[in-house]
Structure 1
């Protein structure tokens, strides 16, 4: 009887182990073949266009990339915070930091992808030197944009800013020299600036490249000046995710693909300097 019971127990244990081994193998197989869906919110141009180029590459790696486009700078972060999307791609680091501070978002920067130089556009003048005394200059009302716009005007030789201030804290009140007595008008949302320019308002309008391109403007040909190139610019556009998700394999793969030579070369050929790729 004991020998019979031992035999039964041995057979039972063998069947259990075999079953576990079979389940483990099946799970592994299913895991390797299962496609992951990644939903990313983005501005129409250039972000969504760049993501579309990455879609087939990601598909080969088992990632189904879904792109949700947004027309403003507020909703993409709200959608990310409320789990409606897995990541977003539209914002610079200063704006990202400001949004987290103001709204209590728990986000992480998964990687910088590109820089969009800001352009100076004018229907009335062909160069900066032609701007008259007291020229009306229209800029974005986004506080996070102001340090960048002011530093740009300083680099272009139009103003001087108070020294000894954190570059990311500059505001209009920090202008200490303004030879042309430029009148800076910060009463409009960034998305409206291309329309304002096309309507001939102001003497010059400073427009972000994504909005310029999305409205049929060529930042390199239509602007009378643009932001000087700076490879160390903090205004890189990033992939933003919820805190902790930056280590997820699908997110890491997305960033790797966007950093790939294939995508970077496409960005250079497509935008001719209006959008500059970064590799890290």
Structure 2
């Protein structure tokens, strides 16, 4: 008579389903990332210094050299500029999102999360939500600095708040691009570099810092159909800031709707790709 012993096979717990459970898991992960950010205050400080430097440099170095609507007033340029600086700030946060996810991958934390019975997309959603909160805090500080250098809103507080919500929505959309980049590289350093390379042409081939009519003719349509340009133009209208006559391009004629549409499309496409990449990268 022989005795055979069997050892139970270890199986990773299956993630719990349901929309409500997925939301709860995402909020837990967002809380984890916010606590982590609070324990590294230099991350927040350095994130504030860069946009403040852009405000000061562009306002006082280029302010008297730019012609906006036939005027070379430095004050007019500061009001024209701020929507672009706000938009640049929320999109540059993308690099931080990618670096954070790449760091978790590099340290093996993602594998630990996989062993938990949680929604697969919760890790990425929690990270992007935490970055959204940090970006919102940065925007508050940046708006105060902008007011100190002479920026003003002229269409009332409700419309101004709508403009800031459009900015945060664009930043959240771009953070999913950063998440995909973070999952696609091996180190946080590579994620930071990869997250910035594509952002420079997106932000500078736009109406953020100069009117598109001053660009080369072949470059103007690219700038006018840039999602970044649509959000900047929408914010200028909602803030009541001076600008130039918009072109006949649909996004420039209907910038608020164009900004909403672009942001939603980017979220849907890149969240799908990022979650799929997450599953394959940790399988």
- Give the TM interval when normalised to the shorter protein: under 0.3
Q: TM-score, normalised by structure 1?
A: 0.24
TM-score computed with the length of structure 2 as normaliser: 0.23
- Whose radius of gyration is greater, 1 or 2? 1
Of Structure 1 and Structure 2, the greater strand share is in 1
